[in-house]
Amino acid sequence: MASRPTVQQQARALVIQQSLQSKRVSLVKSFGAKLLATVQAPAAAENNMKQACANVAGAPPVAKGVALAKRAVAPKPGQKKVTVKPKSEEKKEKKSCSLTSVFTARSKPKDQILDIDASDVDNELAAVEYIDDIYKFYKLVENESHPRDNIDSQPEITERMRAILVDWLIQVQTKFELSLETLYLTINIVDWFLAVKNVPKRELQLVGISAVQMATKYEEIYPPQVHNFVFLSGRAYTHEQILIMEKIILAKLDWTLTVPIPLVFLLRFIKASVPDQELENMAHFLSELGLMNYATEMYWPSMVAASAVFAARCTLNKAPLWNETLKLQTGYSQEQLMYLKVVYRKYSDPQKGAVALLPPAKNLLPEGSSASQ
């Protein structure tokens, strides 16, 4: 068997390859440099003039990026400290710049991208070193990990039934004080199972019970015991039925429970949003509402999460509604998430009764609590 090349051999090969590449590129580069210089000259002159004026006025020369960075770093109460770095610093390997970027640079200041992990560099629990790899992987596999058209293939189960099951599962999660990971995984299991197996309507709750049991075993340190689930079902199902259904689900799902759920993206995107408690709660609230809505199954988990954060920012009038940091972290631009606004505008129309503009239903809240709570 051929031995694998040593590190030195690999490095040597790389150096040779790079030198050949640089010779090949040098001609193109020199022409490109001349062209860029021609375009940049007027912009540079204009910039120097502004700088000189600023200095005459007595202000020290400060790069625009630095000034913005200082402003962004000052933490609000209850907000994590976040450092800022200009986009140019973020992607050092991207040295070449296009003509378009040169022209655009004249008209608007450089976008700021927050390094959302800067405050966690010394936090060994955050695994900052791996965070990019983890989310790259999640984005790569998320398409395979979320089921679609599960209700359409069901002869007896409707969207409404699924919504009621999800509502009940949220109650179970609250009652047992289970983690959010458990809740999202439970619903993922239910949806996957509905996508591959026809379920009679009277057994839908059994699927839910077995799914939550499996999810607790996967996520929790101390999962509730089976008799708790028997009790939860009002003794509609026996101990044995729950255990048999567990095996059926695992077999049908090929034991695949390690999947990127919307929550893993949501937590990351909330962090990128530099949230206050209200924004965080709103994003979670909207995301859980999304769990109940079958229509969200059409979208990738990352898009559902990004939409929840975007909708939360819109609801709470955060400015800007979307920024470069969120675009970088989520992989979605504001335009890609605009379908939310289209729906909002549609239902703000008087012809539709302007229902989107109505205040939330305060009478759904428990006695003595206000909407702000």
Contact residues: other proteins, CB under 8 A: 1, 3-4, 6-8, 120, 122-127, 129-130, 133-134, 137, 158, 160-161, 164-165, 168, 181, 199-203, 205-206, 213-214, 217-218, 221, 223, 225-226, 233-237, 239-248, 250-251, 254-258, 267
**Min dist. Cβ of residue 342 to other proteins (A):** 29
Question: Which helix (H) or strand (E) segment is 99 a member of?
Answer: helix 99-107
Would you say 237 or 269 has its CB closer to other proteins?
237
What distance in Å separates the CA atoms of residue 242 and residue 208, rounded to the nearest whole number? 10
Identity of the amino acid at 131: I
What distance in Å separates the CA atoms of residue 182 and residue 324, rounded to the nearest whole number? 31
For residue 320, whether the previous peptide bond is cis, meaning omega lies within 30 degrees of 0, is yes
What distance in Å separates the CA atoms of residue 150 and residue 154, rounded to the nearest whole number? 7
Cα–chain center distance at 301: 8
**Min dist. Cβ of residue 81 to other proteins (A):** 16
Under 8 Å CB-to-CB from 179, ≥6 apart: which residues? Answer: 219, 220
Would you say 234 or 359 has its CB closer to other proteins?
234
Long-range CB pairs of 206-210, under 8 A, 24+ apart, other chains included: 206/233, 206/236, 206/237, 206/241, 206/242, 206/245, 207/245, 207/249, 208/165, 208/168, 208/169, 209/233, 209/237, 209/242, 209/245, 210/242, 210/245, 210/246, 210/248, 210/249
Would you say 64 or 201 has its CB closer to other proteins?
201
Would you say 111 or 246 has its CB closer to other proteins?
246
Angle at 310 between CA 275 and CA 80, to 5 degrees: 10
Would you say 65 or 275 has its CB closer to other proteins?
275
Question: Which helix (H) or strand (E) segment is 83 a member of?
Answer: strand 83-86
What distance in Å separates the CA atoms of residue 9 and residue 3, rounded to the nearest whole number? 12
Would you say 221 or 319 has its CB closer to other proteins?
221
Backbone dihedral region for residue 58 (phi beyond 0: left; psi -120 to 50: alpha; all else: beta): left
**Min dist. Cβ of residue 226 to other proteins (A):** 6
Question: Which helix (H) or strand (E) segment is 136 a member of?
Answer: helix 128-145
**Min dist. Cβ of residue 158 to other proteins (A):** 7
Backbone dihedral region for residue 238 (phi beyond 0: left; psi -120 to 50: alpha; all else: beta): beta
